[in-house]
Chain A
Amino acid sequence: MEWIVLGEKNGKIRLVSKNNTNGILPKGSYLTIELTSTGSKFILRVDDTEQSEPYSPSPLIVDMDLSPLKQDQMCQNIISAYRVRDIYNRSDGLIDFIPPQSIARRSTQAEVDLALGGGTSGPKVFVATLHSSQNQLLKDESGKHITATLPVDMFFHQVLVCGKTGSGKTVATKYLAQYFTESLEGAVLAINVKDVDFLKMDCPSRTTNPAVVEEWETLGEHPRGVENYTIYYPANIAIDTTQKVTPEVCQKITLDVTRIEPEALTGLLEGISDTASMNFPNIFRHWQEEQRSNKNGKFTFGEFVLYFSEGVENGREFPTMNSRGDSSFVTLHKGTCDNIIRNLDYALDFFDNKDAKCIDETDILVPNKMSIINVAGNKGIQFGSILLRDLLHRIVDAKDKQRSRTNMLIIIDEVHQFYNTDSSREALGDLDTICRTGRSKKIGVIFSSQNPTDIPRGLANVINTKIFFKSDANSAKSLGLRVTDDEMESLRKGFAVASIHELSQLKVLKFPLSYSGVFEKE
């Protein structure tokens, strides 16, 4: 298949198909023009493509219920394409012309790699096209899928994955997580908020879809579970093993009042003022330090609840200790105290459960390990938000003090579900700091959500990679992606429009099916 250069118009190269080309090259495809006379090569990306009828036949004949001449039904493909990569040797500061009547052909994988400018290491995705409400994978002349390599650095510049339910965002996130675990030898911490989305990644994916199998073969990959895989779940919540979650990889956890960061407890507080929220950790810190010195580290959260209740009865004046260790006193309003007591009582069963493990950063920052914190279920979000905040502090601290060199990826799936309480919002607030400093500490965050407005304000500015599966086009446009409403509406499952960090030429892509944790119905 070949196309002939007509010339340039409004900064785009215009081409028309040759006779041997019997279809429309979809938008997003790549074309290569080679000039044998100069040895120059130009790689173009199709920006607009349409059908044209060179003989402009009259509709009269068909209107009279007569069949038309087949010869009149010949069509051509007219293309407008951007020059995305020029390869030439000239050194005079000028840019080569692309002469009219030059011949263009579909680019090879190597040429697309050149055009995209990505490296060779990173998760591979399929370059896709979008035309007339149809998504297709880009292929070269031999029919092989064209792939693109997402840069590894993308992880540490934060990623937003958006899409409606069933559009493919969780599957894509799983794919990225497995890559991070296996190929980057990193540690992944994922928060599972819904069903068993992330709870079966120890099992190889299963599909009978030949297209998926072909995609895996193209990548030289096969379905496999994540080997070092642990699901942590609150001791007060039973994990749903009826959905074939492997019991052996599940670990009951609890919060340890002796070690928990006082700031993490603000995750418990709902319906109280910001000032009270600021005072509460200092009240807890004072009590925690006192217990540590008096009881050799053996005390329970129940004892703190009792301590606070007694304080309320004795005038609501509490000794405090700030993070620098300065002591003081604070008097809380009665209504605030009542609220705090209610919240503490609600959280009692998060702490000090026998037979449950207290986890910290050493459980998470393990190379090649994927850790899932399951917060689906009653009270799960509150528990998760306290735990996550505590863990985030510890992980950042461990990285700051160079106790760990393991790359870290944090995945917040269904942000909109996790974000619906004050407590979890607090936890996400801590992610802001991580997002801004993640690159240097090698900590990455993937936010997965149905709507980008679910992301805490301010975070959107530090997210450098945006991947939109089928969702609201206006949201995507507000984040700088060039996509029309129709194009967004026509994205099939697994296909996405994207703005990838350091890979600006990749616009439409398809993620392979994750090798683990996806089970298609037979």
Chain B
Amino acid sequence: MSDPNTQTQCPLCAGEFALPQGAEIGELLDCGECGEELEVISVSPPKLKQAPEEEEDWGE
């Protein structure tokens, strides 16, 4: 049975997504089903959104 404290859905493909232990707000994670990059916007309750698009001045 899924844990509502960690279980959420990918906002893009609606696939089941389990937030890993120790996840941080702002953390980038990949959806295991559709492969999209997601950003954690809430840990409790777990919420995700599509990660921002790469911008021109991103980098090291």
Q: Do A and B come from one complex?
A: no
